[in-house]
């Protein structure tokens, strides 16, 4: 057994490394600069804790959450490792004990809160105690446009330069911009050894469906899985209550959960879900943070999540035990409009807003994917070698057709009406419907009037939805959601690029009117 394996077993009590852990441990132990991107729950902490024990001197761990630090310190001490934390949550006695262990050269891991880095005395202290490795947990906190930006993280680069020791950064956030920012700010732009592993959850079946009768779609999905524990995520609190009711009426054990409930009721539902078999919780995204139930067999989204990261995290609650689990995500044009509006009407600075649009686009691209969902999803996270066979598109590859012509017709209708209209009116133009509004606006004289009769209304709706999914068109928040063309559409309009669309969602579009959930 290698020294690393011995420590893994004797100190941490694990029989084997998880996929990807051993490579990271080796690189960190060897003193390389490392950036490791692993999903939440993937076992990142071991990747700096174990090398800390293999190396001489002290490993400094910077982590944004005091509770998390204290937790890890407690667990390490229980395993017999000398670890301590310097945070604002310490009692004077705790702080004294940490200093004593440091002075005596006993301490192997010193956790410090990022705020401590701005105290002038810290650097001198860290120089003195023989730091040989800096580990940065939640490294995406250096990203100014991320959701967890921590200004104190910007000092870590300075610290690394001053101490001149290797640095290992860890995060679950994998998008390329965040990664680039981490490299820039923590490693002065010198690319570290980068590891990206473990994002695939091969036992989770991935599937999306266009929303046509959402309540019925969720009910049949649940009916096929009766007696299994599942979560249905909804976009609004009201919907969680209505859908839970509908599921109960269909004979399921179901309850709702959202942030507007009393804390006691929420806790009660959490405990029930944890203990009971076969309960369905219909919830907003408020549900899940503290849920650690290994045998959740399915997760359904009655509404589109807000980003590809949110999607990944939410479906990731299924099948933690490794046994087969299933997911279904419903999406429609209203979801896309709502999500765009939430971003545009939010208080975030413009740069962050465009990053949020990009995260939503990535999810829409996944929803409208033409090939394997898993490959599409993992490509976003940076994984390139993907084996699947466990998604709806691998099960039955969709038929694809060259949609350039209808897409150009739609774009032309949008431009000739000066980007002032929504899809309903635009489709009337394409179909040549002589509505009052068309007459009033004189749109029956447009060259685009009636050019799209080859498709019917439902088919055009599917085409518009796919165009939104490919980010060729976007609702304009300043014009009540009127559709505007994006830069991405320009080459198609000019005839310089071609676009594939899925035929199935167009051909099989339901004929009867959609029923609102």
Binding site for ligand ADP (CB under 6 A): 14, 17-18, 21, 38, 40-46
- Cα torsion 52, 56, 58, 59: sign: negative
Return all residues near 46 (Cβ < 8 A) that are at least 6 apart. 8, 12, 14, 21, 25
Of 363, 368, 362, the C-alpha closest to 407 is 368
Shortest Cβ distance from residue 382 to ligand ADP (Å)? 16
Give whichever of 7 and 281 is closer to ligand ADP, judged by the CB atom: 7
Shortest Cβ distance from residue 297 to Zn ion (Å)? 20
Give whichever of 48 and 331 is closer to ligand ADP, judged by the CB atom: 48
Cβ–Cβ < 8 Å for 499, 492:
yes
Give whichever of 40 and 342 is closer to ligand ADP, judged by the CB atom: 40
Cβ–Cβ < 8 Å for 19, 197:
yes
Q: Binding residue for Zn ion (CB under 5 A) from 142, 391, 427, 517? A: 391
Position 394 contacts Zn ion (CB under 5 A): yes
**Contact region for Zn ion (CB under 5 A) — 6-14, 90-98, 357-365, 368-376?**
368-376
**Spatial distance between the Cα atoms of 243 and 218, rounded to a whole number of angstroms:** 9
Position 204 contacts Zn ion (CB under 5 A): no
Give whichever of 42 and 51 is closer to ligand ADP, judged by the CB atom: 42
**Contact region for Zn ion (CB under 5 A) — 264-272, 359-367, 390-398, 473-481?**
390-398
- Token digits of residue 498: 């071609």
Give whichever of 21 and 178 is closer to ligand ADP, judged by the CB atom: 21
- Token digits of residue 65: 């959450």
Shortest Cβ distance from residue 268 to Zn ion (Å)? 38
- Strand, helix or coil for residue 276: coil
- Token digits of residue 200: 């695939």
Shortest Cβ distance from residue 45 to ligand ADP (Å)? 3
Number of residues that bind Zn ion (CB under 5 A): 5
Closest CB to ligand ADP: residue number: 43
- Token digits of residue 322: 């490794």
Give whichever of 112 and 388 is closer to Zn ion, judged by the CB atom: 388
Burial of 493: CB neighbours in 10 Å, binned 0-12, 13-18, 19+: middle
Phi-psi region of 276 (alpha: psi -120 to 50; beta: other; left: phi over 0): beta
Angle between helices 21-29 and 3-10 (to 10 degrees): 120
Give whichever of 14 and 149 is closer to ligand ADP, judged by the CB atom: 14
Return all residues near 336 (Cβ < 8 A) that are at least 6 apart. 304, 360, 364, 465, 468, 469, 475
Angle between helices 308-315 and 373-381 (to 10 degrees): 120
Q: What angle do CA 172, 352, 370 make, to 5 degrees?
A: 65
What does 41 bind: Zn ion, ligand ADP, none (CB cut-off 5 to 8 Å by kind)?
ligand ADP
Shortest Cβ distance from residue 175 to ligand ADP (Å)? 17
For residue 465, how many other CB atoms are within 10 A of its CB? 25
What does 388 bind: ligand ADP, Zn ion, none (CB cut-off 5 to 8 Å by kind)?
Zn ion
Shortest Cβ distance from residue 14 to ligand ADP (Å)? 4
Position 374 contacts Zn ion (CB under 5 A): yes
Give whichever of 79 and 394 is closer to Zn ion, judged by the CB atom: 394
Shortest Cβ distance from residue 40 to ligand ADP (Å)? 4
Shortest Cβ distance from residue 17 to ligand ADP (Å)? 5
Of 90, 102, 88, the C-alpha closest to 59 is 102
Position 388 contacts Zn ion (CB under 5 A): yes
What does 18 bind: ligand ADP, Zn ion, none (CB cut-off 5 to 8 Å by kind)?
ligand ADP
Q: Are strands 500-502 and 400-402 parallel, antiparallel or unpaired?
A: antiparallel
Position 207 contacts Zn ion (CB under 5 A): no
The residue written with tokens 């490693």 in the block is 187
Give whichever of 42 and 403 is closer to ligand ADP, judged by the CB atom: 42
What does 38 bind: Zn ion, ligand ADP, none (CB cut-off 5 to 8 Å by kind)?
ligand ADP
What does 29 bind: Zn ion, ligand ADP, none (CB cut-off 5 to 8 Å by kind)?
none
Position 169 contacts Zn ion (CB under 5 A): no
What does 171 bind: ligand ADP, Zn ion, none (CB cut-off 5 to 8 Å by kind)?
none
What does 382 bind: ligand ADP, Zn ion, none (CB cut-off 5 to 8 Å by kind)?
none
In the DSSP assignment, the letter for residue 155 is G
**Contact region for Zn ion (CB under 5 A) — 254-262, 313-321, 365-373, 478-486?**
365-373
Angle between helices 457-469 and 423-431 (to 10 degrees): 130
Shortest Cβ distance from residue 1 to ligand ADP (Å)? 14
Max distance between CA atoms of the chain, in angstroms, equals 88
CA distances from 17 to 29, 138, 181, 300, 382 (A): 15, 21, 29, 31, 22
Contacts with Zn ion by CB under 5 A lie at 372, 374, 388, 391, 394
């Amino acid at each position: 057994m290698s020294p690393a394996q011995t420590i893994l077993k004797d100190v941490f009590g694990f029989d084997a490394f998880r996929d990807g852990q051993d490579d990271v441990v080796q690189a960190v132990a060897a003193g390389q600069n490392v950036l490791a991107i692993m999903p939440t729950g993937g076992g990142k902490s071991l990747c700096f804790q174990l090398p800390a024990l293999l190396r001489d001197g002290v490993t400094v761990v910077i982590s944004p959450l005091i509770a998390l630090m204290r937790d890890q310190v407690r667990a390490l001490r229980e395993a017999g490792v000398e670890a301590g934390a310097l945070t604002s949550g310490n009692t004077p006695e705790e702080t004294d004990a940490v200093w004593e262990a440091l002075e005596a050269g006993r301490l192997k891991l010193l956790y410090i809160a990022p705020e401590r880095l701005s105290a002038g005395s810290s650097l001198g202290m860290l120089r003195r105690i023989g730091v040989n490795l800096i580990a940065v947990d939640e490294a995406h906190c250096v990203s100014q446009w991320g959701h967890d930006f921590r200004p104190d993280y910007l000092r870590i680069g300075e610290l690394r330069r001053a101490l001149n020791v290797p640095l290992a950064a860890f995060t679950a956030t994998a998008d390329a911009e965040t990664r680039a920012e981490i490299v820039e700010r923590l490693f002065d732009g010198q690319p570290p050894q980068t590891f990206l592993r473990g994002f695939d959850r091969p036992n989770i079946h991935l599937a999306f469906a266009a929303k046509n009768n959402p309540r019925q779609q969720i009910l049949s999905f649940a009916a096929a899985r009766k007696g299994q524990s599942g979560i249905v995520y909804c976009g609004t609190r009201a919907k969680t209550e209505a859908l839970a009711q509908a599921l109960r009426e269909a004979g399921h054990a179901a309850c709702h959960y959202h942030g507007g409930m009393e804390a006691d009721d929420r806790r009660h539902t959490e405990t029930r879900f944890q203990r009971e078999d076969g309960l369905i919780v219909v919830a907003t995204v408020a549900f899940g943070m503290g849920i650690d139930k290994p045998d959740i067999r399915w997760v359904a989204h009655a509404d589109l999540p807000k980003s590809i990261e949110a999607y990944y995290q939410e479906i990731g609650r299924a099948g933690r035990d490794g046994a087969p689990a299933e997911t279904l995500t419903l999406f429609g044009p209203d979801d896309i409009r709502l999500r765009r509006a939430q971003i545009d009407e939010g208080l975030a600075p413009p740069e962050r807003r465009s990053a949020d649009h990009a995260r939503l686009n990535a999810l829409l691209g996944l929803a409208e994917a033409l090939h394997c969902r898993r490959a599409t999803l993992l490509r976003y996270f940076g994984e390139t070698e993907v084996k699947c066979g466990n998604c709806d598109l691998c099960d039955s590859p969709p038929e694809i057709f060259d949609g350039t012509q209808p897409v150009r017709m739609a774009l032309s209708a949008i431009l000739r009406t000066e980007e002032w209209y929504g899809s309903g009116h635009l489709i009337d133009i394409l179909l040549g419907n002589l509505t009052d509004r068309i007459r009033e606006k004189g749109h029956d004289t447009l060259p685009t009037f009636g050019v799209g009769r080859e498709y019917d209304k439902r088919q055009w709706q599917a085409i518009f939805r796919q165009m939104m999914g490919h980010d060729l068109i976007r609702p304009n928040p300043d014009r009540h959601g009127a559709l505007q063309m994006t830069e991405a559409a320009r080459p198609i309009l000019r005839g310089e690029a071609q676009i594939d669309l899925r035929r199935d969602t167009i051909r099989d579009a339901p004929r009867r009117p959609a029923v609102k959930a």
